[in-house]
Structures are given as C-alpha cells and as structure tokens.
C-alpha cells in the first residue's frame, strides 16, 4: 500500500525514518567549485565527441550531500527503513518476523535491509552477486543476514529471490523499484535542499551569485534509479532541476540510452568500476526517470573521468567515497554536454548545484588497486587533473 509519488509523501517518509538515519552533512569545496567553473583544456577534449570545439564556460558552485557518512555508509538505508516500517504498519510486526524479508543487491541495499531487519528482529535473506565487493559482503554478514550468492545480472538475482520466497514466504523488499523505496531515498534531497539554503544564508559568499539563496539543480548517480527517482519526486514543484549521471563503460548508461530510444533497457551486464550502478531501471523508476518534467537530463562519463573525480574528492575534500558516488561530480567537471547546458540556461549568473555522494563502501585495498596504473603520474596529478584521454589539464584554481 505505497504512498502517492509526490513531495508530501517524501516528507512523510522523512518523519518516519528520522529516528533511524543520520542527518548527513552538506559540504562545499572552493577548489572543486572553481574547477567546475574553469573551461576544460583543448587537450583534455582530444579523443572525445567535443574535440576541436570551444570548451564550455559555465559558472557553478557545488554543494555535496555526503551520504558516505550515512549508516552502513550509503543512502540506501533511507529506503530500506522506510519500506520495512511501512511493511510493519501493514502486516504487524509478528507477521513480518514470521515470514522474514528478502532482497537482491550488489552491496549497499543488502547492508541497508540487513540493518533495518536486524533493528526490528526480522529474519533477512540477501541475494548478492558473487562479484560483489568483499567489504560489502562482510558488511552484510555483520548485520546477521542470511546471504545467498547468484550471478551478476538482475535476471540471475531475481531467480534466486523467487526460490527463497517459495521456500520461506519472505516478503520481497526491492533494491530500488518500489514506491516506498524511492520515497525513502528522496529524503536525502529534502535535507540537501534545506541544508544548502542554510549554508548560503549564513555565508552569502558560498552562493554562485549575490541574492541567490538556494539550489538551482541536483545531480545524482543512476543505477536502478531509486535515488534519482526519489530526488525527482522530492524536488518536483520546487523549481530545482534534477539530473542523473551514469558510467558509460560497457553500456552502463542504460537509462540515458533508454530515454533516447523511448524504451526501457531491461538488461545490463557491465563491469564498470561504479559497481553500485550496474543495474537497469525498473518499471516504477523508468516512469519517473523517462519523464522530462521530472528528470531534466541524463549524462554519462568514462571510467577515467570517474577515477579523476574520485581522486579529487579523496585528496581535496579528504572525503572517503566509492566510485559510484562521484559520477555526478565527474559529469559536472568533464561532460561538455552538461556543462554547455548549464552555461546556456544559467547565463552569467550561474547555478548552485547539489551533488549527492551516494556512498563510501570501498576499501583502501580497492582504491590502491584502482589507482595502481597511475602511480607513476602521481606527482603530475598533484598539480593537475587528468582529462578523458589521460592528459593533464591545468587546474588554475585556488585551494
């Protein structure tokens, strides 16, 4: 019995889950805002669709919602707690405990549902791909969940889920494709909106332009679309534009391609480093993400751009994030289509853009492996930013 998909429902969801989530901080960073407002070099655009074109010159100020500091290290706990609490309201706690809950997830929703179930003493069955990040598997096991392994595609995961439901009668709590999940995820955007406005009211110099006191846009990562859909529902009617960001590697940008073709892509098989974004949109999230009145645009970025953005966050913000978390920032910094759109629509005034860091569930070992090929260029990278083709892009920004 899900609530209607509107902002009021997100507000209700927020009240319901407040006792179980952290109010994560919103941070700013002068270096990254200045870099976002600095045109990319012509060298950085070589080998891209924008080679030979004049770089965009948008004016941008960035506000980062740090869900990497959320419980279990990701925003997913919001949707999980909302879905479980609604389930308890509908079926009564003893009935939910008798049946248990089940889901499939590569890691963050797995840990989130395991925590929510543990909080209310509910048995949890979690189906995880064998290629899931070891730290995410360990985090899920730490919550006392029963883990079942599967193949990496959504079809393979769902087949195992069906068998578990058949054997146990457990109630499925989907990782993203359910109204109660996306309404819970949308609560992060509610907080981001108010926190950013408070920061700008306290320090007027944080805003992109004098007299502008709120966000103009929010960009989130997009995998199954729960966070993006929830953000779109939460921001609808506020005047704040919502955008989605995806990896392009091995067809991981299924949402963007699907919207362009007018048909949802139901299968994705990719080994992008943004492992939390390896799933396709579901039927519920597709309806929202494909609605241009809800989500203004979808943009994709290459693996090296994700790595470059991640390095900036780690080194300049001192903020521990996973690759999936920074695809929005990579889009703002390196996707010329997005940057030109901002330049055109915002004009000389510019935009205040909120970016959701979706999580920080990775390890030092994984990060070391991710950046191992680039260790020889460490000194150069400390002075510049790596472009799409691996070339150095002069930073020319204050710290």
Question: Any idea which residue has 């006792």 for tokens?
Answer: 19
**What is the DSSP annotation of 76-109?**
HHHHHHHHHHHHHHHH-HHHHHHH-EEEE-SSHH
Residue 254 C-beta-side C-alpha neighbours within 13 Å:
22
Is 323 in contact with 362 (CB distance < 8 Å)?
yes
Q: Hey, which residues does 63 pair with through a beta bridge?
A: 354
Per DSSP, the three-state class of 172 is strand
Q: Among 248, 233, 247, which Cα is nearest to 276's?
A: 247
What whole-number distance in Å separates Cα of residue 347 and Cα of residue 133? 42
Q: Positive or negative, the Cα torsion across 105, 109, 114, 117? A: negative
Question: Any idea which residue has 């969940």 for tokens?
Answer: 145
Distance of CA 312 to the CA centre of its chain: 17
- Rounded (to 5) percent helix, strand, coil in the chain: 50, 15, 35
> Is 194 a residue of the active site?
no
> Is 263 a residue of the active site?
no
203, burial (CB in 10 Å: exposed 0-12, middle 13-18, buried 19+):
exposed
Of 9, 33, 37, 76, the catalytic one is 76
Is 106 in contact with 150 (CB distance < 8 Å)?
no
Of 33, 37, 105, 106, the catalytic one is 106
Residues involved in catalysis: 76, 106
């Amino acid at each position: 019995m899900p609530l209607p998909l509107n902002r009021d429902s997100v507000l209700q969801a927020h009240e319901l889950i407040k006792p179980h989530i952290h109010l994560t901080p919103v941070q700013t960073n002068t270096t990254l805002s200045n870099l976002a407002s600095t045109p990319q070099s012509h060298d950085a655009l070589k080998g891209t669709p924008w080679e030979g074109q004049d770089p965009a010159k948008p004016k941008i100020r960035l506000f980062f919602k740090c869900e990497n500091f959320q419980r279990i290290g990701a925003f997913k706990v919001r949707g999980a707690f909302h879905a479980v609490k609604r389930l308890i309201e509908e079926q009564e706690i003893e009935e939910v405990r008798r049946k248990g809950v089940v889901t499939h997830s590569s890691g963050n929703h797995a840990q989130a549902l395991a925590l929510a179930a543990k909080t209310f003493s509910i048995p949890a069955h979690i189906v995880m791909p064998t290629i899931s990040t070891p730290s995410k598997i360990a985090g899920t096991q730490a919550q006392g969940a029963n883990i079942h392994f599967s193949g990496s595609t959504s079809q393979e995961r769902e087949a195992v889920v069906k068998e578990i439901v058949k054997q146990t009668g457990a109630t499925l709590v989907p990782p993203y494709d359910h109204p109660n999940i996306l309404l819970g995820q949308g609560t992060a955007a509610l907080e981001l909106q108010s926190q950013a406005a408070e920061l700008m009211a306290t320090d007027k110099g944080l805003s992109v332009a004098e007299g502008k006191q709120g966000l103009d846009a929010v960009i989130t990562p997009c995998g199954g679309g729960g966070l993006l859909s929830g953000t779109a529902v939460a921001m609808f009617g506020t005047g704040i534009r919502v955008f989605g960001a995806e990896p392009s590697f091995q067809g991981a940008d299924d949402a963007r391609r699907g919207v362009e073709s007018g048909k949802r892509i139901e299968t994705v098989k990719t080994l992008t480093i943004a492992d939390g974004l390896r799933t396709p949109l579901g039927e519920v999230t597709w309806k929202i993400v494909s609605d241009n009145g809800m989500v203004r645009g979808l943009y994709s970025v290459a693996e090296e751009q994700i790595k470059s953005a991640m390095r900036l966050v780690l080194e300049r913000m001192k903020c521990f994030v996973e690759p999936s978390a920074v695809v929005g920032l990579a889009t703002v910094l390196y996707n010329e289509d997005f940057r030109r759109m901002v330049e055109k629509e915002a004009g000389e005034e510019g935009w205040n853009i909120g970016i959701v860091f979706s999580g920080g569930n990775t390890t030092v070992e994984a990060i070391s492996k991710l950046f191992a090929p680039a260790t020889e260029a460490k000194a150069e990278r400390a002075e510049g930013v790596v472009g799409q083709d691996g070339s150095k892009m002069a930073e020319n920004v204050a710290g």
